[in-house]
Amino acid sequence: MASGMTVAVVGATGAAGQATLRILEERKFPVRELRVFASERSVGKTVPFRGEPVRVQKIEPGAFKGVQIAFCSAGSVQSKAYAPMLVRAGAVVIDKSSAFRMDPNCTTIVTVMPLKPLHDAGRLRRVIAVSYQAVSGAGVNGIAELREQTLAWARGETIQPRHFPHPIAFNLIPAIDRFGPDGYTAEEMKLVNETRKILELPGLLISPTTVRVPVFTCHSIAVTAETERKITPAQARELFERFSGLKVWDDPTQERYPMPVEVEGQDDCFVGRIREDLSSPTGLNFWVVGDQLRKGAATNAVQIAELLLG
């Protein structure tokens, strides 16, 4: 183990793949050999890792031979094709896509961080979650679209939306992913189903609203959470502070609360605006922000690998 592992990153040129490479570096993950894979059109390009360019390889028979740990963030179609090949080659696959389970949705991960300690202390009964989701949740195309539309605005021009169904610069799109028959989007139902799954609470009442906002990185969620046993704001603050991966930024006198531009690049999630819900006797309101390329995706995947390594 000291000499390190053979690690593959599939989808290495995407937003989550690039973040995975940065986080493997930062966390000094024991990588002896790194192989990076992406779609055909990226083959031959390089991505940087520990200051060296690493060439993107073609996925072909034998390419995965000897891989011990693989991070897949290439999308669910690719994961369905490549994960079985990686497993046959003997690799442990940490798959960020929705191919083999419910999507470990990046908004859900951020939302669940404060819900877990609250539930352990007071048993969750009902959650109303309203999101403010960054364009990076839609990958590099989402980031490029906000950037291009904003630069066009600065030049006095307009640009037709390509990646999102509507303009995103200086706008809000209150719908992410396709609609189901009940008027909820797939993104909203992921938030319901994944939260229930992660917290092991299949009957938890959850009301989701997901909205795309003109922010580059970090998802923010306004949460109203009702528990069976009342948790005061002071108790919640203490529970959150003690929970690994969660930090409290909550000082109104200093205008201190989590904001996307400050949370960007952080591995932890940040919670603030912790206050009693004025509309229920055992409710709490709070605001949680997480860098969904890190905690919401790549950091979480590397943390899983670290747990596997013991």
| Sites of contact with a copy of itself (CB under 8 A) | 126-128, 130, 132, 146, 150-151, 153-154, 165-167, 170-175, 179, 182-184, 192, 205-209, 211, 213-216, 220, 222, 224, 233, 252-253, 255, 257-261, 272-280, 283, 285, 287
Could you say which of 106, 119, 218, 269 is catalytic?
Answer: 106
Q: How far apart are CA 297 and CA 310, in angstroms?
A: 20
38 phi and psi, to 5 degrees? -155, -170
- Complex with a copy of itself: residue 100 or 170, whichever CB lies closer: 170
Check 72, 119, 219, 269 and give the catalytic one: 219
Residue 14 vs 167, nearer CB to a copy of itself = 167
Q: What is the rounded CA–CA span in Å between residue 9 and residue 44?
A: 15
Number of Cβ atoms within 10 Å of the Cβ of 49: 18
Nearer to a copy of itself by Cβ, of 77 and 205: the residue is 205
Active site annotation includes 219: yes
The residue among 198 and 222 lying less far from a copy of itself, judged by its C-beta, is 222
Angle of helix 15-26 relative to helix 299-309, nearest 10 degrees, comes to 50
Residues labelled as active-site residues: 106, 219
